[in-house]
Amino acid sequence: MCICQQGNVQVFYRDLPLSIQDGYERFLSSATVSLQQYQVFGHLKRLGYVVHRFDPSSEPSSYAKQLNLPQSRDRAGRQLKRKRSPSPTATCSYTEAQVESTIEKMEEDKCSLEGDDAKKLAASPDIQTATTSGADEGRSWWMTDDLGASDKELHHSPTSGSSRWDFSSIPFPDVGSSERHPSCLAPPEPSLLPGDLTVGVCDIASWRRKINLRMVKMSSKEQKREKDKRRRRWDVNKDREVRRCRNWAEYHELLARRQRKRKGRPAHLWNREVTPLHDPKQPISTGELLDKISVIKSTHLLEGASRLKGSEQWRICFNVYQPDTVVDFKKSNPGKPYSRMCVCSFDGPVPDLRAIKLLAFQSGDIPVVFAVVDHGDISFYTFKDFQLPIDVFP
Amino acid sequence: MEDSPSMDDHQDSSLVVGVGLCDSAPLLWRLQDLKTARRLGLVGALLGSLPRTPRQNQRLGRPLLLLPEEEQLLRDEEAAGALPGPNQDVGGAELRRQFEEDQQRSFEEQSVLALEDRKSALRRAMTSSHTGSESGAEAVDEALRGRLEALDHSFSFPQSAMAVQLSTARAGLSYCPEAWAHLQASWPIREQNNPRSDARYQVFRDLRGRGFYLTSAGKFGGDFLVYPGDPLRFHAHFIAVCLTLDESICLLDVLAVARLGSNVKKTVLLCSPAPDGGVCYTSLQWSGMV
């Protein structure tokens, strides 16, 4: 059609020459070569390019190309995307929250000091049941006696759930205090005593004599010093978490936890199913560390493209060869084209990633140019593979 | 297919533009159709190679591609007629005979002209050699004169050297330029019924009615380029983006088109047809930071 227009060829149809209009109407249709494709073809031909039809089956596959030339694939650079994970420093607090929410809450960890301003968090049911069972074991010899008796509820709250002792109702004898002067202690509850043991009143007068009940006389300076020491001394009983411990086992656990945290291996990071990606104590290069923590893996355009099936909408139409290579150009052996054309229009959809991958795969290592036709104007667009720079010094 | 019309019909028929369909695109082929369309203010886009200078893309030749809005406007004003299609082979033998007669006539004219051409070339050679060096001039002169005389007798203009004209517009395969001078103004309805194309057509008609010339503006990110006069004389003033009134656009799109407009020094017009028949215009101009 184009050379017909350029005045080089006259086409005869039924012994009569075809006009250009005839040529257009007969030869150009969406089944063969559409008007838009012809427009692009004509445009490029007028500029001097050599344009041929694209035949996907005549393209050597990438494997065939590999046999000829070793493909040098540069390592795809990794993209930088730091995950927002808190570094396990000592200032980060640990929470006693549920196991499931620990992972989500890692970013929301608020730093808290070991002090009064620590947030009061509910104890997790796991720990609760653990300590309940522990406490139960400690008291089992006691409780088995009382399981049947429901009226002996003096010393502990109902056995169903809570395990708190009501210390206000348990009188511990204070032998050393000077306020009370009991000369004897009341005998304990006979139900609490094993077997047939009976205990009478205990006379503690002799022991009180052995206790030094004299007040220490301190000078004013010493008194001030004692007061300051007392003020500055951290009373372990003031720690809320310590107060929450119900028995020695829990307290030891608390101490161990704090110890681990100090050493940089807090339980909430290392004792769960999801542990940090990297132990900060292990040496690692920056590049490897970036690889470890990267969320988005970088990819190149042809990845996964071989699995894509062809589509009707997006096809490569032409091979374009540059005009100055006409010297080596032979119709039987054109060589590598300069680019390949895919014709579309502004009314149609923008090519999505799938279409771009498909066309890039079909084209091999030659860039695909999209010729967008708009009622007589043609704009050319192409997509380039690009790698973000990484700031890593090996 | 009608034959040559009477004179008074000629006046009417000149207002009917013959449109041919190629791959569902409306094309104008005949010269008088292009003139008519331009007179109506429809610019269109030329697609073909210019016969005299085929190897460039700045100035193109026929056919003229119409915008769908232009096609619809022609149909609404009953100024478009369908050109007969390519497969109508009316009067085959008659056409062939006529074609051959035309070819013969053209051949005879051309051979006469070719002979004249040859003679004048030889004469030029003779006179130039005469004014040149004196020594070998006489012999050359004689040879040339001899050839000149022989030319009259034995000049033959080969058929294969004949210049042939390819007609751009189809004349019904009949070489009658007056064929289809008279066309019925009937154009099939080919509109796409979506609100976007309706909006575009309303805006097109309104702006055309106000005297603007409109072309397509795909590469400017809009629907139309609006010229205050003929595009050959003016630069475009506006980029028109057509939207329906109830369509919501993302602010980023507005920003993008405003930026683009300011970069190409054109004002962006957001156009929406109003339900009362008029069109509501909003212009965007980048005023910079306050």
Q: List chain A domain ranges.
A: 33-56+299-382
pLDDT bin (cut points 50, 70, 90) of residue A2 is low
Amino acid of residue B17: V
Bridge-based pairing of strands A50-53 and A16-17 is unpaired
A47/B contact by beta carbon, under 8 A? yes
pLDDT category of residue B138 using cuts at 50, 70 and 90: low
* Domains annotated on chain B, with CATH: 17-82 (no CATH), 94-129+138-161 (no CATH), 195-284 (3.40.1350.10)
Question: Is B235 known to be catalytic?
Answer: yes
Chain A contact set for B45 (CB, 8 A): 375-377
> Phi and psi at residue A238, in whole multiples of 5°?
-80, -15
> Among A286-300, B138-152, B225-239, which is the least confidently predicted range?
B138-152
- Give A343's strand partners: A371
* CA distances for A241 relative to A95, A246, A255, angstroms: 11, 10, 10
B contacts of A24 (beta carbons < 8 Å): 20, 22, 27, 63
| pLDDT at site A65 | 62
Instruction: Give the span between the Cα atoms of A145 and A193, in whole angstroms.
Output: 11
B89 to A7: CB separation less than 8 angstroms, yes or no: no
Catalytic residue among B237, B265, B266, B281: B266
Q: In this structure, which topology does domain A33-56+299-382 adopt according to CATH?
A: Trna Endonuclease; Chain: A, domain 1 (3.40.1350)
Which carries the bigger pLDDT value, residue A313 or residue B64? B64
pLDDT for B139 equals 65
Residue type, A269: L
* A16 CB within 8 Å of a chain B CB: yes
pLDDT of residue A165: 75
Q: What residue type is assigned to position B59 of the chain?
A: R
Helix H or strand E encompassing B283: strand B279-284
Residue B137 is predicted with a pLDDT of 55
SS (H, E, C) A310-338: CCCCCCCCEEEECHHHHHHCCCCCCCCCC
Least confident stretch, A43-47, A79-83, B196-200? A79-83
**Residues on chain B touching A29 (C-beta within 8 angstroms):** 22-23
Interface test with A, best of B19, B21, B23, B30 (most A CBs within 10 A): B23
User: Can you tell me the mean pLDDT for B181-207?
Assistant: 76
- Between residues 157 and 186 of chain B, which touch chain A (CB distance below 8 Å)? 164, 166-171, 173
Question: Which DSSP helix (H) or strand (E) runs through A125?
Answer: helix A125-146
A267 vs B27, residue with greater confidence = B27
| Percent of chain A residues topping a pLDDT of 90 | 2
Most confident of A213-217, B25-29, B51-55, B144-148: B25-29
Confirm whether B219 is a catalytic residue. Answer: no
Q: Which two tokens stand for residue A216?
A: 């220490």
Across the interface, whether the CB atoms of A377 and B166 are under 8 A apart is answered no
Question: Could you say which DSSP state residue A258 is in?
Answer: H
pLDDT tens digits for A304-321?
777 777 777 888 888 888
Report which of residues A82 and B43 the model is more confident about.
Answer: B43
Highest mean pLDDT among A352-356, B194-198, B237-241: B237-241
Interface pTM (ipTM) of the complex? 0.75
* Structure confidence at residue A134 as a pLDDT band (50, 70, 90): very low
Instruction: Name the residue among A372, A332, A328, A379 with its Cα closest to residue A349.
Output: A372
Q: What is the mean pLDDT of chain A?
A: 68
The question of whether B281 is a catalytic residue gets the answer: no
**Partner B contacted by A308 (CB < 8 A):** no
Q: Which has the higher per-residue pLDDT, A15 or A321?
A: A321
Using a 10 angstrom Cβ sphere, with 0-12 exposed, 13-18 middle and 19 or more buried, the burial of residue A220 is exposed
Kindly report the nearest CA distance between residue B133 and chain A, in angstroms.
43
Q: Which residue has the tokens 């007669």?
A: B101
> What is the signed CA dihedral for A150, A155, A157, A158, rounded to 10 degrees?
-20
Going by the DSSP 8-state scheme, the letter that residue A51 receives in this structure is: E
A27 — contact with chain B (CB < 8 Å)?
no
**In this predicted structure, what is the pLDDT of residue B210?**
92
| Of the partner residues B96, B164, B170, the one whose CB lies closest to the CB of residue A22 | B170
What confidence category does residue A69 fall into, taking pLDDT thresholds of 50, 70 and 90? low
Q: Dump pLDDT digits (tens) for A135-175.
A: 444 443 444 444 444 444 444 444 444 567 777 777 777 76
Interface test with B, best of A32, A33, A34, A375 (most B CBs within 10 A): A375
Q: Identify the top-confidence range among A113-127, B130-144, B185-199.
A: B185-199
More confident residue, B172 or A267: A267
pLDDT at B159 over 50: yes
Of A316-320, A338-342, B142-146, the poorest mean pLDDT is in B142-146
Q: Rounded mean pLDDT of chain B?
A: 77
Residue B31 · residue B58 · CB < 8 Å: no
